[in-house]
Structure 1
Amino acid sequence: MIVLIVSIVLLALILLRVPVAFSIMAASILGLGLLGGLSNVVGVFAVIPTSAVGSFSLSAIPLFILMAHLVLESGALGAVFDSARTLVGRVRGGTGIAAVVAGAGFASVSGSSTAAAATLAHTSTRTMVEEGYSQRLATGTVASAGTLAAMIPPSILLVFYAVTAETSIGETFMAGLLPGLLMATALGLTVYVMALRGHAPGAHRSPLAQKLRAVLGLAPVLLLFALVVGTVFFGVTTPTEAAAMGCLGGLILMIWRRRLTLDRLRAAILGSVVSSGMILAIIFAAYVFGHFLAESRMTPAIVDAVSALEVPSALIMALIVLLYLLLGFFMDQMAIIALTVPVTLPVVEALGYDPVWFGVLIILAAEIGLITPPLGLNSFVTARASGIRLETVFLGAVPFIAAMLIVVVLVFVFPEIALWIPGLMQ
């Protein structure tokens, strides 16, 4: 009964648009109070703050966020789009494919889907529409390409999942690389197919000298990606140390592109502090919520109930993934992880599945919600930045949603897609 009351209160607060961290915290305090009174709440708060946000590994999150903001302020994403457009322009729908490449490029040096979508909307949507792309295809491409930042390392969501699930941050971090590249490929193929159906203009060619300059334009972002991801893969650094080097790389990129000013540096630091504070607040609230779940004994009861079911484990896993897909339509991805992983992960492990693979799978499923109604944060950002109607963006995202669902099914059926690279690290 107490768990039901807490769940109703939590859902009501979220529907009332109370910030996620405060919603989780309020519901958790209510639950702890109902279970053990005020002394129980005080006891939990005497221990949780330090254990929740005091770990060294957790510092990777604000550092990766700062790295993303530095790269964003450097203007490198616009250069990536222009370079990719030059290199793949001979392919029909090349400018749209270039937008996907730019999304993957930004994802490789940041972990912010929303920032990627907003920047891509400013840099590429207008270019595609001016070239003759339909508004649906242009905005759908940009909104979906922004979701790549949720999967391609360094991904803030993957780090957040690793902290919540207590898995290896390095392995979880690297597990997203192949699924992320597979997702980027699927989105690029979708653009190509839509272009063949007449939603985009024909190809255009660029001189060889211009293509060589385009390769040089991609080099800084590729080098920064290799620095951050490569050092983690080979065990040279921890994710936190790699994030610190990434921040230095982002600062050097600003200097090299002559974009380092006091105002831009202040904007990068302020944006990082605001985003980091929000995420750390969610982590703190999630720890308190997890303590409530432990005291309520709800998780062991669910595990026992699921274990007693006489149905194939694959069917149970499919239903869990479907749940995450549906939750993504209505909730923020971090909130989904914070609220559900303490409950679903023990069930998944009891069924014999790998927790790192599970993290990649649920993030792939939940990120589809970034471009679908009613929440569709990336679609909202794209519509606002491009000045195109929100309904057009949602309609343009439909073929990309189909492509993303295919990738989710592939990773579900073939776990090696996510686990192969982490296996090489062991």
Structure 2
Amino acid sequence: MTLALMIIALVLLLLLRVPVALALLVPSLVYVLLDPTASLGIAVQQTISGVNSFPILAVPMFILLGNLANASGITDRIFDAATALLGRIRGGLAYVNIASSFGFSWMSGAAIADAAAMGRVQVPAMVSRGYPRAFSVGLTGASSLIAPLIPPSIPAIIYAVTAGVSVGALFMTGIVPAVLLIIALCATSWWILRKRSDLREPGVPWSERGRAALGALPAAGAAVIILGGILSGIFTPTEASGVGVLYLLVLALVYRSLDWRRAYRTLLQTVETSGSVLVIVASAALFGWVLARERAPQLAAELIFTLTDHPIVFLILVNLLLFVVGAILEPTAAILILVPVLAPVAVIFGIDPLHFAAVVIFNLMVGLLTPPIGLVLFVLAGVTRTPIPTIIRGLLPFYGAMVVVLAIITFFPVLTTWLPAVLGFVE
């Protein structure tokens, strides 16, 4: 009864548009105050423990990494290099869009950062060259989902801390789904633009292509440092985030593209974003403790076993649930609320924890593009000054591509588990 009341209170607060952190914190504190065996001291301890974690320190560092890449003009260099190399192909700027997002993803780790950085560059460039605005914005939104799938994926860090799995293993888990998403977006773009022979960029001399590629090469060093350091065992993911920030800071100073005013704005933006994320994490830690105390995972398992005892059916039910939750709840909050309940049930069904993590993260990232709450929709609307209905219209073909990729990683778990196993992240 107590558990049901807490969940009802959480849902009501979220429907009333109360900030997620408060919606998690208020029912938890009421529970603690009314339970004679609990105390405020325990509540404080559980709340602090949620953020008093070495892996969670990577979150603000990777947020700073993405903001530095954007503020220092590194995103423009990536876009220029991709345009020089791919623009001559029919519909080339569509592939430039995807390739630029892939390049920036190794530094951002978040779809919102990718959409904000790339939207301001790619959409005006595509529209000015004759690409439909809806298609341009829709593709930019869809390609922004590459960022939270590959290192340094911020949702992966949040999930790993919440579920108690290896951050490095989860980083590797997302690479194959990201590649599948890239292939799906390229195939969809080709189909839409296959008859638009006018959408070609002028030929670029090889010397200019070389200069553009060399200009973006130092930016690629961030990906080499982060991924190479983690794979080689030199850095933990948290340490890699700090080294990556230092590398980009030095690069920005060499480029002379980061003055004191821009640096201050970058730090302020990082503090605001990190603060909002970590407050939710702290509140969710107390809420998760209450759920565990009330045996929520065990009760959820018993309920699901009354519906099915087949792992595939369970994954389908989880995907349907996440489609709904992702449309109304920000991914970090959704992970912190649902994973403590669903992840133990997945283990009971015999589902690999990394496979389940990949399914959950990918599904919730699609929610960033799904109304009514999809945050990437609002970011793109603000950056590109495009009405949200136009963005959704442009996204419709790409929704199909994303659902196909989700189905593939759901029904073929080896695609998400073999790379971490090959690289030695799992025994």
Taking the TM superposition and a 5 Å limit, the aligned residue runs for 1:246-285 are 246-285=244-283
Contact between 1:44 and 1:288, CA under 8 Å: does it hold in 2? no
Supply the distance in 2 between the matched residues of 1:164 and 1:197 (Cα, whole angstroms). Answer: 47
C-alpha change, 1:199 and 1:267, in structure 2 (3 Å) is farther
Supply the distance in 2 between the matched residues of 1:260 and 1:73 (Cα, whole angstroms). Answer: 7
Contact between 1:94 and 1:203, CA under 8 Å: does it hold in 2? yes
Structure 2 residue identity aligned to 1:303: A
Matched, 1:221 2:219: yes
Equivalent residue for 1:418?
416
C-alpha change, 1:308 and 1:116, in structure 2 (3 Å) is same
Contact between 1:227 and 1:246, CA under 8 Å: does it hold in 2? yes
Structure 2 residue identity aligned to 1:304: E
Structure 1 residue identity aligned to 2:355: W
Supply the distance in 1 between the matched residues of 2:313 and 2:171 (Cα, whole angstroms). Answer: 27
Taking the TM superposition and a 5 Å limit, the aligned residue runs for 1:271-420 are 271-307=269-305, 309-420=307-418
The Cα shift of 1:205 comes to 2.5
SS of the equivalent of 1:31 reads helix
Taking the TM superposition and a 5 Å limit, the aligned residue runs for 1:131-280 are 131-198=129-196, 201-202=199-200, 204-280=202-278
TM-align CA RMSD: 1.7
Supply the distance in 1 between the matched residues of 2:7 and 2:306 (Cα, whole angstroms). Answer: 24
Supply the distance in 2 between the matched residues of 1:293 and 1:3 (Cα, whole angstroms). Answer: 7
TM-score, with length taken from structure 2: 0.95
The Cα shift of 1:396 comes to 0.1
Equivalent residue for 2:28?
28
Equivalent residue for 1:40?
38
Contact between 1:328 and 1:369, CA under 8 Å: does it hold in 2? yes
The Cα shift of 1:154 comes to 0.4
Structure 2 residue identity aligned to 1:225: A
Supply the distance in 2 between the matched residues of 1:394 and 1:386 (Cα, whole angstroms). Answer: 14
Structure 2 residue identity aligned to 1:289: F
Supply the distance in 1 between the matched residues of 2:236 and 2:126 (Cα, whole angstroms). Answer: 40
Supply the distance in 1 between the matched residues of 2:27 and 2:198 (Cα, whole angstroms). Answer: 49
SS of the equivalent of 2:188 reads helix
Which piece of structure 1 moves more, 88-97 or 203-212? 203-212
Gaps of 5+ in 1: none
Contact between 2:312 and 2:411, CA under 8 Å: does it hold in 1? no
Taking the TM superposition and a 5 Å limit, the aligned residue runs for 1:111-122 are 111-122=109-120
Equivalent residue for 1:18?
18
The Cα shift of 1:356 comes to 1.6
Supply the distance in 1 between the matched residues of 2:163 and 2:74 (Cα, whole angstroms). Answer: 33
Which piece of structure 1 moves more, 12-21 or 400-409? 12-21
Contact between 1:137 and 1:199, CA under 8 Å: does it hold in 2? no
1:220-273 Cα distance to aligned partner (Å, 9 max, x none): 222110110111112121011111111111101211221121112212221221
- Identity within the alignment, %: 33
Supply the distance in 2 between the matched residues of 1:55 and 1:118 (Cα, whole angstroms). Answer: 29
Supply the distance in 2 between the matched residues of 1:200 and 1:341 (Cα, whole angstroms). Answer: 48
Contact between 1:307 and 1:350, CA under 8 Å: does it hold in 2? no
Q: Which of the residues 123, 128, 132 maps onto 2:126?
A: 128
1:128-157 Cα distance to aligned partner (Å, 9 max, x none): 111000111111011112222111210111
Supply the distance in 1 between the matched residues of 2:197 and 2:272 (Cα, whole angstroms). Answer: 39
Structure 2 residue identity aligned to 1:2: T
C-alpha change, 1:2 and 1:195, in structure 2 (3 Å) is same
C-alpha change, 1:170 and 1:49, in structure 2 (3 Å) is same
TM-score, with length taken from structure 1: 0.95
C-alpha change, 1:176 and 1:200, in structure 2 (3 Å) is farther
Contact between 1:3 and 1:31, CA under 8 Å: does it hold in 2? no
Supply the distance in 2 between the matched residues of 1:57 and 1:223 (Cα, whole angstroms). Answer: 23
Supply the distance in 1 between the matched residues of 2:40 and 2:135 (Cα, whole angstroms). Answer: 54
C-alpha change, 1:309 and 1:401, in structure 2 (3 Å) is closer
1:354-391 Cα distance to aligned partner (Å, 9 max, x none): 11221111111111111122122212211221122211
Structure 2 residue identity aligned to 1:331: L
The Cα shift of 1:43 comes to 3.8
Structure 2 residue identity aligned to 1:99: N
Supply the distance in 2 between the matched residues of 1:420 and 1:200 (Cα, whole angstroms). Answer: 42
The Cα shift of 1:308 comes to 5.4
Contact between 2:310 and 2:349, CA under 8 Å: does it hold in 1? no
Supply the distance in 1 between the matched residues of 2:352 and 2:202 (Cα, whole angstroms). Answer: 46
Supply the distance in 2 between the matched residues of 1:47 and 1:144 (Cα, whole angstroms). Answer: 40
Equivalent residue for 1:92?
90
The Cα shift of 1:311 comes to 3.8
The Cα shift of 1:118 comes to 1.4
The Cα shift of 1:397 comes to 0.4
Supply the distance in 1 between the matched residues of 2:388 and 2:74 (Cα, whole angstroms). Answer: 27
SS of the equivalent of 2:328 reads coil
The Cα shift of 1:104 comes to 1.2
Supply the distance in 2 between the matched residues of 1:203 and 1:255 (Cα, whole angstroms). Answer: 32
Which piece of structure 1 moves more, 216-225 or 283-292? 216-225
